[in-house]
Amino acid sequence: MKNSLNALVFFGKFAVLGLAIAFVLSELAPNWTARIRGQAAGAGKTEAPVATTPPEPEATAEVPEAGTSDRKPGRTPRSGVREQSESLYASFADAVARAAPGVVSISANKIVAGRRVLVPSDPLLRRFVAPIDAGPVQRGVRSLGSGVIVRVDGYVLTNNHVIEGAEDIEATLSDGRVAKATRVGADPETDLAVLKLDIGNVTNMTMSHKRLRVGDVVLAIGNPFGHGNTVTMGIVSGLGRQLDVSAYEEFIQTDAAINEGNSGGALIDSNGDLVGINTAFTREQKAEGVGFAIPIGTAKNVLNQLVSQGKVIRGWIGAEYIDQTAPKAATAQAGVIVQGVYPDSPAASAGLRTGDVILRLNDEQVAGQLDLYNREASIPPGSKVQLAGLRDGNPFTVEVKLGERPTLPVVQPKNG
């Protein structure tokens, strides 16, 4: 029994020693031990030759030259998703950086007249005591809006309704400077006004000379809710829009967000050039993305006249028109129908009548009421023009000596 126990102890020592040696060899020479195991496993077998393939060289990142693509035939680049996203989304930061210094925030203090009404504070008394009129009262109102520096000598275009009736006007520039602003003139017909900044070293905005198209990208820069230099983006949704607030309307419609305080601010194109003066937005039927701007061509004409003569002088026939529609049209040609004639006006003196169809002005076709209003306005007062059309279905011609358009009541738009 004792001999058997000694034998077990002897073999146990050798087993432990063998395991220890195997552990040391596996740590110090793993490749050698693997070869021993492989030879043992493959003893008595004939190995088939194995074809080896040279490793494929690692792909190196190549930077394509400007204006070229790194796409190779039959191969999709690893950065395809990123490249596609960069091509779909462009930044307008450069356009904004170019235009933003020309936009100012306007603060105008106005005195508004009203009436003071006394109402009992007790709800029970309000059921039996009517409100009492305590007489007229005046209160101060602060109007916030925007403006665009359009000349290096400090002239600013804005909306007339922003500064109308203002006692004190200040403009805050993009660099934080605050300047007093003097009212140069206003044109209620187009809701435009011109201010002069009492400060030097200003940056004016460049006016665009390109023709806008529906679908062009535009950005609105202004002072919505007093936040200052806020940029929104959209496209031109329509051109030549009319809101029935004045005779001279050819608004740019855009879905760039225009809110209270944006009035008088800049509508720019993707190059940073000024294409319009933001003027109105709509709250009707909870509409969103429907804003309007005055085209820069109209704004430039008003600017030049207000700076040079303090007011806008327009030729005036003295009649109101509507476009021909199918039920009313006496002819297939474009033109307008005289809806009314002002008393003692050039039209009245020339014998123009309600219901007359005007087809031509100075032998040029009349496209519609907007076309006729703008063309007569561009002719100096005192000039004579020929109007031709149909009266009771018969051709007629009259000569009208234009007068100067008087200041007529206008309805202000729902604006920002």
- Write out the two tokens for 287: 């509409």
263 is catalytic: yes
Cα–Cα distance measured from residue 416 to residue 109, given in angstroms and rounded to the nearest whole number: 16
Contacts with 71 (C-beta within 8 Å, 6 or more apart), sequence order: 77
The b/e string for 69-80 (b: 16+ C-beta within 10 A; e otherwise) is eeeeeeeeeeee
Q: Per-residue pLDDT tens for 286-299?
A: 667 888 999 999 99
Q: Which helix (H) or strand (E) holds 162?
A: helix 160-163
The residues, any chain, with a CB within 8 Å of residue 29's CB and separated by 6 or more, are none
Please give the pLDDT value at position 106.
93
Give the per-residue pLDDT at 20: 62
Q: pLDDT-derived band of residue 261, with 50, 70 and 90 as boundaries?
A: confident
Structure tokens at 191: 């809701």
Rounded to whole angstroms, the maximal C-alpha distance in the chain is 149
Q: pTM of the predicted model, to two decimals? A: 0.67
**pLDDT (0 to 100) of residue 350:** 92
Q: Which two tokens stand for residue 67?
A: 């204006």
Structure confidence by residue, pLDDT tens digits, 178-225: 999 999 999 988 899 999 999 989 999 999 988 999 999 999 999 888
Angstrom distance (rounded) from CA 277 to CA 294: 5
Cα–Cα–Cα angle for 332, 333, 338, nearest 5°?
105
As annotated, the residues of the chain forming the CATH 2.40.10.120 domain(s) are 92-112+140-312
Structure tokens given for 314: 């327009």
Specify the 3-state DSSP secondary structure of 255. coil
Does the structure show a pLDDT above 60 at 73?
Answer: no
- CATH T-level assignment (fold) for domain 92-112+140-312: Thrombin, subunit H (2.40.10)
* 237 Rama sector, left if φ>0, alpha if ψ -120 to 50, beta otherwise: alpha
What sign results for the dihedral spanned by CA atoms 142, 144, 148, 152?
positive
Active-site residue identified among 107, 174, 191, 273 = 191
- Could you report the per-residue pLDDT of 392-404, keeping only the tens digit for each? 889 999 999 999 9
Round to whole Å and give the CA distance between 36 and 334: 102
308: part of which helix (H) or strand (E)?
A: helix 296-309
Count CB neighbours of 82 within 10 A.
10
The residue from 105, 143, 146, 161 that is catalytic is 161
- Active-site option among 146, 263, 269, 371: 263
Q: How many CB atoms lie within 10 A of CB 104?
A: 31
- Tokens, residue 154: 């400090």
Query: Which residues are within 8 A (CB) of 390 and not within 5 positions of it... i.e. 6 or more apart?
Result: 330, 331, 356, 357, 359, 396
Instruction: Report which DSSP code applies to 5.
Output: H
Instruction: Say yes or no to pLDDT of 3 above 80.
Output: no
In sequence order, what are the beta bridge partners of 149?
156
Tens of pLDDT, residues 305-319: 999 998 899 999 999
DSSP for 197-248, written as a single string: ES-SS--PPPBP-SPP-TT-EEEEEE-GGG--SEEEEEEEEEEEE--SSSS-
pLDDT for res 32 = 55
- What are residue 220's phi and psi, to 5 degrees? -105, 130
Could you tell me the fold of the domain covering 315-404?
Answer: Pdz3 Domain (2.30.42)
